[in-house]
Amino acid sequence: MSGSKGSFSGTPARSGPSARAPNHDPIHEDPMARSCAICGKASMGGFNPQSSGMNRVRAHRRYQPNLQPLVIEQKGSPTRALVCTRCRRTMLKASK
């Protein structure tokens, strides 16, 4: 019975996010781990609103912060970072 069941080399073919190039872009990383680079605002848990009914079944959901890429100055050099819209508005307001 040598080879009748098929051969398996032990290492599966790489596909999906782990097969991408090694250069890392913080803008397009995992959305579950995203947070504001200035204030640290991250996702928050909550419940979906129910329309009617006496025995309300609360459905879980996640509230994600509205993060936008913005060029900010960190350690003296401009870098692209994810910033929540509240911090972005405050920064643009202060620069005027």
| Cα separation, 73 vs 37, whole angstroms | 11
| Confidence (pLDDT) at 6 | 54
Instruction: Find the mean pLDDT for residues 65-91.
Output: 93
Q: Is the pLDDT of residue 53 over 60?
A: yes
pTM (predicted TM-score): 0.58
Tens digits of residue pLDDT in 7-52: 555 555 556 555 555 555 555 555 446 899 999 999 999 998 887 7
* Dihedral sign (CA 80, 81, 87, 89): positive
Residue 72: closest CA among 54, 94, 41, 51: 94
Q: Is the pLDDT of residue 56 over 80?
A: no
3-state class percentages of the chain: helix first, strand second, coil last, to nearest 5: 20, 25, 55
